[in-house]
């Protein structure tokens, strides 16, 4: 029996507003690709975002590595998100107590909550991190992903750490709509967490610094992930950015079609 619903079906049924708009957008653009644009200048970030924009559902940033960050960068990113119809995910990996992350999310130079539709958090501090971020993000309609499993070699995110993280998500479904993880996390028929999986590459298996790559087929068909996150595989060769974005988008979408047909 086919237990995998289409993105459209999942979007129609999902209780979380952020997940609903994400699923609708994925189907509309026929893309389950998120590009991680880990570059250090405003110019490169905007130029890659514009080049990959037509092919992605989510554009992922590490805003604190941009050396010439300014407010105009955020305005331009927001314009690109509208132009190309994608969501922005600031990969901040919050990891502190609720009161501190609240400020890190809302304030400081970056004011992440004001422009990033999605962000993520480690569960190591306990559930207060979700409550703190939620005080800022929920009124703005933002969504949170918990880091349930990391892609890197030797990661401690396994066993009871992972299962406790899933329990935390279950208790906070208004704000937490999914995970950064390597496998599907749903255990019950009535729950539908979105799994975004980093560590995706078609040409190499690792980067010499602990990162481990799997193919879109392994992630989506074999492990039940929903969205592939690809960084260096796409922006690594500046002349090939658009071609690689198309290639990964096709590989991700083909894997999804195979999964829903199984």
Binding site for ligand 6AU (CB under 6 A): 36, 38, 62, 91, 93, 120, 147, 150-152, 180, 198-199, 211, 229-233
Which residues lie closer than 8 Å to 206 by C-beta, 6 or more apart? 153, 212, 213
119-148 per-residue burial string, b: 16 or more CB within 10 A, e: under 16: bbbbbebeeebbebbbbbbeeeebbbbbbb
Crossing angle for the helix pair 42-52 and 71-84, to the nearest 10 degrees: 10
Q: To the nearest whole angstrom, how small is the minimum distance from the Cβ of residue 41 to ligand 6AU?
A: 16
**Could you give the CA distance from residue 157 to residue 139 in angstroms, rounded to a whole number?**
30
Q: Which is nearer to ligand 6AU, 176 or 229 (CB)?
A: 229
**Could you give the CA distance from residue 228 to residue 222 in angstroms, rounded to a whole number?**
13
Q: Which is nearer to ligand 6AU, 6 or 96 (CB)?
A: 96
Q: To the nearest whole angstrom, how small is the minimum distance from the Cβ of residue 76 to ligand 6AU?
A: 20
Q: Which is nearer to ligand 6AU, 5 or 155 (CB)?
A: 155
SS (H, E, C) 18-78: HHHHHHHHHHHHCCCEEEEECCCCHHHHHHHHHHHHHHCCEEEECHHHCCCCCHHHHHHHH
Q: Which is nearer to ligand 6AU, 93 or 131 (CB)?
A: 93
Cβ-closest position to ligand 6AU: 231
Q: Which is nearer to ligand 6AU, 139 or 154 (CB)?
A: 154
Residue 205 known to be catalytic: no
Q: To the nearest whole angstrom, how small is the minimum distance from the Cβ of residue 201 to ligand 6AU?
A: 6
Chain centroid, CA 119 distance in Å? 8
Q: To the nearest whole angstrom, how small is the minimum distance from the Cβ of residue 91 to ligand 6AU?
A: 5
Q: With H, G, I as helix, E, B as strand and everything else as coil, classify residue 194.
A: strand
Q: Which is nearer to ligand 6AU, 16 or 120 (CB)?
A: 120
CB neighbours of residue 40 within 10 Å? 12
Tokens of 195: 């799994």
Catalytic residue among 42, 43, 83, 93: 93
Q: To the nearest whole angstrom, how small is the minimum distance from the Cβ of residue 88 to ligand 6AU?
A: 13
Radius of gyration of the chain (CA): 17
**Could you give the CA distance from residue 73 to residue 82 in angstroms, rounded to a whole number?**
14
Tokens of 197: 């999986």
| Residues assigned a catalytic role | 93
């Amino acid at each position: 029996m086919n237990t995998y619903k289409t993105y459209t079906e999942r979007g129609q049924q999902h209780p979380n507003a952020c997940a609903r708009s994400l699923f609708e957008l994925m189907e509309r653009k026929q893309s389950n690709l998120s590009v991680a644009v880990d570059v250090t200048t405003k110019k490169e970030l905007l130029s890659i975002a514009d080049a990959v924009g037509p092919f992605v559902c989510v554009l992922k940033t590490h805003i604190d590595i941009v050396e010439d960050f300014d407010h105009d960068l955020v305005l331009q990113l927001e314009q690109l998100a509208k132009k190309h119809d994608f969501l922005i995910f600031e990969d901040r990996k919050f990891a502190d107590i609720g009161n501190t992350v609240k400020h890190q999310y809302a304030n400081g130079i970056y004011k992440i909550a004001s422009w990033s539709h999605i962000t993520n958090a480690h569960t190591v501090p306990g559930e207060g991190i979700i409550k703190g971020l939620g005080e800022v993000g929920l009124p703005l309609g933002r969504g949170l992903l918990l880091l349930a499993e990391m892609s890197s070699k030797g990661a401690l995110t396994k066993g009871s750490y992972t299962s406790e993280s899933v329990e935390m998500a279950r208790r906070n479904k208004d704000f937490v709509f999914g995970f950064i993880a390597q496998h599907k996390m749903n255990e019950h028929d009535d729950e539908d967490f979105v799994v975004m999986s980093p560590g995706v590459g078609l040409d190499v298996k690792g980067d010499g610094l602990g990162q481990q790559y799997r193919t879109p087929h392994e992630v989506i068909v074999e492990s039940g992930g929903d969205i592939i996150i690809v960084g260096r595989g796409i922006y690594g060769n500046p002349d090939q950015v658009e071609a690689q974005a198309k290639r990964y988008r096709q590989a991700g979408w083909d894997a999804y079609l195979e999964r829903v047909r199984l």
